[in-house]
Amino acid sequence: MSAVWKYFQVDDKNVSIAKCELCKLGISRGGKEKAAFNTTNLIRHLKNKHPTQYNEFTQATQPRTSQPTLQDLFQKREKMPGDSAKAQTITAKVAQMIAMSDLPFAFVENPGFLMLMEHIEPRFEMPSRHYFTEKALPALHKKIFDKVLLSDAPHVSFTTDIWSSSVAPMSLLSLTAQLIDSSFVLRRATLHVREFRGSHTAERIQQSIENMLNNWGIDKERVHVILRDNAANMKKAMRDMGVRSLGCVAHSCQLCVQEGLLSQRSVTEILANARKIVGHFKHSPLAYSRLEDIQMDLHMDIKRLQQDVQTRWNSSLYMLQSLLEQKRALSVFAAERTLPAALTAYQWELMSKVADVLSPFEELTKVVSRETATAADVIPAITVLIRVLSRERDEDQGIRTMKRTLLDAVEKRFADVETEPLFYIATLLDPRYKDGFFTKSANLLLAKEHLIQEVAKSEGMRVASAVPEETGAAAEPVNKAPRHEGCSSLDSAFEEILQERQSQARSVSTTSAEAQVQTYFSEQTTPKKSDPL
């Protein structure tokens, strides 16, 4: 890399421009394409505008033809000024590393890190941790603050949560923003993570979130929706703020699974025995060492058993899966030594069935929890989950009560998703889903009616009637699945529903808004893993 880059940085928004670190002026890199990039303009700018730094550059690029002088050696030992461009650049990079890696400020005083920096640049003197807390990090925050342009976004969605810190006895309140910019690119940024002192009342939550929004100059009219947990204080805080909010789907799934796991005594007994077995290896290094030896003798991967946390259902699934994976090794161990609990052949079989039933919930949780998840994912995810749970299979013997309880819990807790505009409009407008995942025809007609009205409003059209008169068959709602073997995963149920949708006839409407909507619905959906934007 050319030594001239000591004084320049590539512009974040336009890679064909390099910004001078000395005067902040943008300089062309010689062309628009990467193949045309060069440093000629950068060197010319340095020569014309910054002669001192240009002399440094020319000296750095001249080949050494002689042994270093005594003066050179002294200069190498001399520390560079803290306000020099290079020192400030290094300090800023260290601040970025602390922020991006979530490191403690004390890291800048770590002997190993200081040894590394001394080797890389002996002349650089690391500022104190107090400098980073009081100056470097606040300066970085302001730089990022100015880059996160929320002022141009007409609508912004938010996610908020309160949780307990794992490293200190305190509660934290976070606020994350998501928006689609003018280039139709999804953007997100964590705006605040603050200590939340005192009681978690709705009034105090409301005040804290309103203060966070005010810091970014966002009035309530621009708040599209706030995603929150399902606690009563959070619901009331959003309601009192006068903003639309939605509960966390993953949290609702957890409540459904907890009901299902507690519905059958045989399942709770398996979980209790599983915890005893895993706990034995967790607290006995000798037992774990022997289990490792057995795994090696059986040519199995060396893996630890997973301990569950009873408040997190997916950890119970991981515990069962880890036991099933190590069944052979555990059987050998049990033949040699006594375990605190024993599992019968029937319980091992039942454990496998429980893990199979819970796996779709894990799939759904991952779908709605990923960074790119949208409100459009909810109705399809719940629909395919209901279809999977509705399947009656011969191998369900022993878990039918649990499966029925899970299905009832899902239908109860997600009964209103198809009538919530924030969900159904997003689903209809997502080219991956469109109108193929509604379970009730009345909900589908209401959703389409609303969409047509919104299209007409945006286009300045008039709609003749609220519910369009259709000449052909409308898209049929998704029904509960009849008895059928297979289709045990969300992906297979998803594809099955899409195939049913493609086979249905589509009508052509009369008004312009209706025609646009129906033409859109008549087109094929895009692949599930494609970007909906």
Q: What is the pLDDT of residue 15?
A: 85
The answer to whether residue 529 sits within a structural domain is no
The answer to whether residue 367 sits within a structural domain is no
- Residue 490 predicted with pLDDT over 80: no
Q: What is the pLDDT of residue 218?
A: 86
Question: Among residues 125, 147, 169, which one ends one of the domains?
Answer: 147
The answer to whether residue 368 sits within a structural domain is no
Q: Are 158 and 248 in contact (CB under 8 A)?
A: no
pTM: 0.68
- Residue 268 predicted with pLDDT over 70: yes
- Residue 465 predicted with pLDDT over 50: no
283 and 336 part of one domain: yes
Q: What is the pLDDT of residue 510?
A: 55
243 and 167 part of one domain: yes
Question: Among residues 331, 361, 391, which one ends one of the domains?
Answer: 361
310 and 264 part of one domain: yes
Q: Per-residue confidence at 474, pLDDT binned at 50, 70, 90?
A: very low
279 and 206 part of one domain: no
281 and 299 part of one domain: yes
Q: What is the pLDDT of residue 460?
A: 67
378 and 514 part of one domain: yes
The answer to whether residue 530 sits within a structural domain is no
The answer to whether residue 477 sits within a structural domain is yes
Q: What is the pLDDT of residue 151?
A: 64
| Cα–Cα distance, 437 to 442 (Å, whole number) | 13
The answer to whether residue 174 sits within a structural domain is yes
Q: Per-residue confidence at 469, pLDDT binned at 50, 70, 90?
A: very low
pLDDT digit string, tens, across residues 23-71? 889 989 888 888 778 888 889 998 899 988 888 888 877 765 555 565 5
Question: Among residues 361, 393, 416, which one ends one of the domains?
Answer: 361
Read off the pLDDT of each residue in 85-94 and give the average, rounded to a whole number: 91
Largest CA distance in the chain: 94
- Residue 160 predicted with pLDDT over 90: yes
**55-69, 259-273, 475-489: range with lowest mean pLDDT:** 475-489
H or E element: which one contains 47? helix 40-49
Give the range of the structural domain holding residue 513, as residue numbers without chain letter. Answer: 374-522
Q: What is the pLDDT of residue 115?
A: 92
| Cα–Cα distance, 479 to 483 (Å, whole number) | 12
327 and 357 part of one domain: yes
The answer to whether residue 44 sits within a structural domain is yes
Per-chain mean pLDDT for the chain: 83
Between strands 171-180 and 186-195, the pairing is: antiparallel
Read off the pLDDT of each residue in 185-208 and give the average, rounded to a whole number: 88
pLDDT digit string, tens, across residues 105-137? 899 999 999 999 999 989 899 999 899 999 898
DSSP 67: P
* Most confident among 70-79, 189-198, 226-235, 516-525 (mean pLDDT): 226-235
- Residue 73 predicted with pLDDT over 70: no
141 and 185 part of one domain: no
pLDDT digit string, tens, across residues 387-422? 988 888 777 777 888 889 999 999 999 999 999 999
| Cα–Cα distance, 141 to 268 (Å, whole number) | 49
169 and 119 part of one domain: no
pLDDT digit string, tens, across residues 360-394? 999 888 888 888 888 999 999 999 999 988 888 77
Distance set, CA 286 to CA 184, 232, 236, 500 (Å): 57, 47, 52, 56
H-only helix segments in 370-440? 378-390, 400-413, 421-429
280 and 232 part of one domain: no
Q: Are 320 and 351 in contact (CB under 8 A)?
A: yes
DSSP 78: S
Read off the pLDDT of each residue in 76-89 and give the average, rounded to a whole number: 82
Please state, for a pLDDT cut of 70, what percent of the chain lies above it: 87
189 and 213 part of one domain: yes
**10-14, 239-243, 443-447, 482-486: range with lowest mean pLDDT:** 482-486
The answer to whether residue 440 sits within a structural domain is yes
CB burial of residue 509 (10 Å; 0-12, 13-18, 19+): buried
- Residue 75 predicted with pLDDT over 70: no
Read off the pLDDT of each residue in 320-335 and give the average, rounded to a whole number: 93
Any residues with CB less than 8 A from the CB of 116 and at least 6 apart, and which? none
- Residue 483 predicted with pLDDT over 60: no
Q: Side chain identity at 124, as an amino acid letter? A: F
Ramachandran class of 305: left when φ > 0, alpha when ψ lies in -120 to 50, beta otherwise: beta
388 and 503 part of one domain: yes
Structure token pair of residue 279 = 């706990």
Distance set, CA 380 to CA 79, 450, 528 (Å): 62, 19, 11
Domain total for the chain? 5
CATH of residue 194's domain is 3.30.420.40
